[in-house]
Amino acid sequence: MYTINKKQGLVKMIIVIVIALLILSYYGFDLEQLVKNPTTQKNFNYLEKTVLYIWQNVLKTPIMYVWNIFVDLIWQPALQNLTNIKNGGNASFNVPNPQLPQTR
């Protein structure tokens, strides 16, 4: 069975990037010229505006709602329990369930 190794490492990635740059240089690609090209700049500006629009108008509200639930229900109790354990106490698993935040 084929499995993907997720521990490939930063050094390997850097080596692959350097090899890719060497290959591009060998074939005469000038990355600086490509990046400074007005068409490339225009495309990146369009991409940035599109991503920001999608974030602000579509994704931000539901993601922040889920994030706030995560922080209230999981993150803060976990930090509190870890602090209690670090200080020699016990984890407090018998506390009442916190309430979900109300939608506006």
Residue 97 has pLDDT above 70, yes or no: no
Could you say which DSSP state residue 95 is in? S
- Position 60 confidence tier, pLDDT thresholds 50, 70, 90: very high
- Position 46 confidence tier, pLDDT thresholds 50, 70, 90: very high
Q: Which helix (H) or strand (E) holds 11?
A: helix 10-26
Q: What is the pLDDT of residue 15?
A: 93
- The whole domain housing 38 covers 10-86
d(CA 25, CA 20): 9
Q: What is the pLDDT of residue 49?
A: 97
- Position 86 confidence tier, pLDDT thresholds 50, 70, 90: confident
- What average pLDDT does the chain have? 85
Domain count, the chain: 1
> Is 5 inside any structural domain?
no
Distance of CA 79 to the CA centre of its chain: 21
> Is 96 inside any structural domain?
no
